[in-house]
Each structure stands twice: as structure tokens, then as C-alpha cells.
Amino acid sequence: MLTQRPRGMHDILPQEASLWHEIEEAARRICARYGFSEVRTPILEHTELFQRGVGENTDIVEKEMYTFNDRGGRSMTLRPEGTAGAVRAYVEHKFYGGPQPIKWFYLGPMFRYERPQAGRQRQFHQFGVEVFGVADPAVDAEVIALGLDFLEDIGLEGLRLELNSVGCPQCRPMYRERLQAYYRPLREQLCEDCRDRLERNPLRLLDCKRETCKALAERAPRIEEALCEECRAHDEGVHRHLEAAGIAYEINPRLVRGLDYYTRTAFEVVEDGIGAQGTVLGGGRYNGLVEELGGPSVPGIGFAAGLERLILALEQRRGEGTSETGVDVFGIALGDEASVELTGWLRRLRALGCRAERGFEGKSLKAQLKAADRLGARWALILGEEERRRGVVMVKDLAGGEQRELPVLEVESWWKETEHGTGR
Ligand SMILES: [Zn+2]
Ligand SMILES: [Zn+2]
């Protein structure tokens, strides 16, 4: 146990880290273009926040949360998603009192006790955005465009946007009844989960993944016929804004978010070629959530994307991740005094931006040159006892092979010229 990580918890090793940086940098870059600022909320929140914010009848709350009592006896939960914490922060810091919209993004680890599989871990990472305070369909289109720009920026191809409206508290109850009326005579054909959902949360019957349930969902009444006037107008507005932005979409009437505070727009971006579960980003409008979590009635919309899945997709496209840290100078000291001196000028070189490494433990010249080679260093600076007494250092071009002597006092100006010459 001591040398084994917990199931579903993943070490991101140095050779994978560069891919993570790439994805995180893309998220920040695209968010800056759209005027979104980063929010960092705690990884731990009061359990009640997720019970209310994610929903009591969801798999997440019923089966997947890491919940425990802290030493003060309070029930705490490792966040299973990012929206509830963002809403809590928006309300707690009274952002609703200032100019709207508030546009936030977050990046960080989430925790769900699920069966681990490729691209799905118990500790996983999400990039997500939230917009509070504006109900305009232009915001829906902007959020979707941001998500697509991000996915395209990191190099995903074959992306498909699926879109639906889940109605609102005015029109959805009638649709629920219609769904129940359709499904009740078919009850025996439903899977166990769906039989359970039929009375509590019938919309979720539409996105069940079992084959028999899928077939029944195909013929179920469609929500678009049940939408109220406002929902229909909003939906059409979203379509028009998307079309103006050159974004293609498909209406998927079985795309639902089953909770009451989800309203109108629901969307998913599907990538073809990552396997059966191809959704790489999903989100929607939640005009009732801020109020549900103790704030005023303020509209909101957001999405989240699981980074593990994106990493997997990128690795499949590019082959294994490589970490090119890069080394400019490898310092080789021969002898104790030389080693001490090397410590001094390596620090000065690094202060100039030079990526410098060195050999340790008084290894032979041959062994240290080998180490420099292994790191792909461009130059070796060799300081032997004899050179040290004469106040010089040997500069060896590890790509070309030439070497020359350089006064130790000129090492810094040599680097400045060299750096300049290589255009780094
Ligand atoms: Zn409606
Ligand atoms: Zn089912």
C-alpha cells in the first residue's frame, strides 16, 4: 500500500506534464480573448452545497462523492464538479451587486468515486467556465464558441456540437407529464435505473445508455413541441447567434440535464474517434441555480471539459507525450575546488536565463560528457583543476565538436553573445 497510489488517482509524471501545460495554457489564452477571469475555489466544500447544487437524485450525490466528517464534526465533501463552488463564491462575495455579466473560468482537480477506466479517474481535472447575470442568447453562443475555440486550439478535430433546449419551470412540468404518460405503459421494458427515474426524474430516461431504453427514447415525445413561447424564442436566438458565428450544430432532442434549475440551452461537443463515449465538453444554462444556492434570481450558463479525456485524445493523435525541457549549458567540474567555483557561475548564468545543468559527485570527464549528451545539452563548460588555476574554462560545442578556452570572467558575456546569436 505504501508504494501504491490510491485506485483512480493518477500521478502526472514529468514526461506528461508538458501536455498538461499546453492544455492549461490554451484554456487561459482563449478565456482571455473572451474576457473570462480565473476563479479558484476550495477543493473542499460543505456537503450541503453539492446536495443542493448538483441535486439529491443524481448519481454524483447518491453514489460518487468523497464525503467525510472533519474534526469539528461537519460533513465535508471533495468537490465533484466546479459549478456549485463558483456559484457559492458568486453569492458569498455578492458579485450580483455589481455590473453583469460576471464571466469566470476555473481549472483544477475534482473527485468522484467511480469505476476507473481510460480517460476517467477518481481524481480528475476540469476546465470550466460560468457566466452569471445575463439571460441573452448571445451569451449562450459565446460560451459555446469559447468551448469550441479551446478544443480546436489544442488540436482536436472532427468536433460535433449537439444542442437542445430543456425548457423552463413554466413549460417543463407539462412535458414531464407527457413523458410519463408515454413511458408508464412501457415500464416493464425499462432498465432498473429508468424504472426508478420514471416518477422522480423522467427526463433522464431520454439519455439512458442501455439499448432497450435508447430505442424507447427514439419514439418518445420531443421537448421542442412542448416549449413555451419564451423558451422557443431563446432557442431560436441561440441558433441565429451560432449561425452568425459560423458554428454548425445538430439538434439532439435526447440531450437533457435532468435537474429543475437547468433551463433552456443544453449542449455537448462530441469528438468522433475517441471511442463510444465521445463527449469532450458539456454544459448548459442554469437560470435557477443561483437562487437554489441562496442567492438572488440570477441567470447563469456554463460548461465543463474533462482534461484527462483531452489528454487521451491528444496522445492518440500525437503519440506519447515527450518532455523537452532543454538544456543550454552543462557544467563539468573536475575536482573539488572546480566544483565549488562552478556552483558560483552556474547561478549567474541561470540568472541570465540560461538553462544550465551540471554533473555531480566528481564523476569522470567521460561520464559527465555522457550525461550532458543524454540531456541534449548544447554546450559543455569544462573546468578542470589546471584550467581553474589559469582562470579559464573549456567551452565545447556539443553539436559541432569544436572547443576553445575562455577566461572564466568572460563566461557571462559569452553566454549573452551566444544566446543572442542563436536567437533564443
Ligand atoms: Zn419555457
Ligand atoms: Zn434505462
Which tens digits make up the pLDDT trace of 108-132?
999 999 999 887 899 999 999 999 9
CA of 227, nearest ligand number: 1
Q: What percent of the chain has pLDDT over 90?
A: 81
What is the pLDDT at residue 424?
Answer: 52
> What's the CA-to-centroid distance between 234 and ligand 1, angstroms?
9
> Was 82 annotated as part of a binding site?
yes
> What's the CA-to-centroid distance between 173 and ligand 1, angstroms?
10
Spatial separation of the C-alpha atoms in residues 234 and 228, rounded to whole Å: 10
Cα Rg of the chain, angstroms: 28
> What's the CA-to-centroid distance between 13 and ligand 1, angstroms?
48
User: In 3-state terms, what secondary structure has residue 46?
Assistant: strand
> Was 335 annotated as part of a binding site?
no
Residues of the chain with CATH 3.30.930.10: 14-171+227-318
Q: How many residues are there in the chain? A: 424
What is the pLDDT at residue 82?
Answer: 96
> Was 126 annotated as part of a binding site?
yes
Q: With bands split at pLDDT 50, 70 and 90, how would you rate the model's confidence at 257?
A: confident
For residue 33, is pLDDT > 60? yes
> What's the CA-to-centroid distance between 262 and ligand 1, angstroms?
11
The DSSP letter of residue 62 is: I
Q: What does the pLDDT average to over 220-231?
A: 94
Q: What does the pLDDT average to over 265-278?
A: 78
What is the pLDDT at residue 321?
Answer: 47
CA of 206, nearest ligand number: 2
> What's the CA-to-centroid distance between 304 and ligand 2, angstroms?
25
Spatial separation of the C-alpha atoms in residues 339 and 322, rounded to whole Å: 31
> What's the CA-to-centroid distance between 183 and ligand 2, angstroms?
11
> Was 355 annotated as part of a binding site?
no
CA of 224, nearest ligand number: 1
CATH class of this structure's domain 329-422: alpha beta
> What's the CA-to-centroid distance between 61 and ligand 1, angstroms?
27
Q: What percent of the chain has pLDDT over 70?
A: 96
What is the pLDDT at residue 418?
Answer: 87
Q: What does the pLDDT average to over 31-52?
A: 97
> Was 388 annotated as part of a binding site?
no
Residues of the chain with CATH 3.40.50.800: 329-422
> Was 263 annotated as part of a binding site?
no
Spatial separation of the C-alpha atoms in residues 135 and 295, rounded to whole Å: 16
What is the pLDDT at residue 423?
Answer: 47
For residue 267, is pLDDT > 60? yes
Asked if residue 282 lies in contact with residue 267, where contact means CB atoms within 8 angstroms, the answer is yes
Spatial separation of the C-alpha atoms in residues 239 and 165, rounded to whole Å: 11
Spatial separation of the C-alpha atoms in residues 109 and 81, rounded to whole Å: 9
For residue range 318-349, list pLDDT tens digits in order. 765 455 568 999 999 999 999 999 999 999 99
What is the pLDDT at residue 45?
Answer: 98
Q: What does the pLDDT average to over 271-285?
A: 79
> Was 404 annotated as part of a binding site?
no
What is the pLDDT at residue 277?
Answer: 54
The rounded mean pLDDT for the chain is 92
Q: What share of the chain is helix, strand, coil (3-state, %, to 5)?
A: 45, 20, 35
> What's the CA-to-centroid distance between 228 and ligand 1, angstroms?
4
> Was 257 annotated as part of a binding site?
yes
Q: What does the pLDDT average to over 263-278?
A: 80
311-312-313-315 Cα dihedral, nearest 10 degrees: 80
Nearest to 220 by CA among 161, 284, 283, 177: 177
Asked if residue 415 lies in contact with residue 329, where contact means CB atoms within 8 angstroms, the answer is yes
For residue 59, is pLDDT > 70? yes
Q: With bands split at pLDDT 50, 70 and 90, how would you rate the model's confidence at 15?
A: confident
> Was 317 annotated as part of a binding site?
no
The DSSP letter of residue 120 is: B
> What's the CA-to-centroid distance between 229 and ligand 1, angstroms?
7
CA of 212, nearest ligand number: 2
Q: With bands split at pLDDT 50, 70 and 90, how would you rate the model's confidence at 246?
A: very high
For residue 235, is pLDDT > 70? yes
Spatial separation of the C-alpha atoms in residues 373 and 156, rounded to whole Å: 35
For residue 231, is pLDDT > 90? yes
Nearest to 173 by CA among 246, 119, 231, 240: 231
CA of 166, nearest ligand number: 1
Angle at 345 between CA 340 and CA 350, to 5 degrees: 125
CATH class of this structure's domain 14-171+227-318: alpha beta
CA of 265, nearest ligand number: 1
> What's the CA-to-centroid distance between 227 and ligand 1, angstroms?
5
For residue range 344-383, list pLDDT tens digits in order. 999 999 999 999 999 999 899 999 999 999 999 999 999 9
CA of 230, nearest ligand number: 1
What is the pLDDT at residue 324?
Answer: 59
What is the pLDDT at residue 325?
Answer: 66
> What's the CA-to-centroid distance between 180 and ligand 2, angstroms?
14
Q: What does the pLDDT average to over 176-193?
A: 94
> What's the CA-to-centroid distance between 203 and ligand 2, angstroms?
11
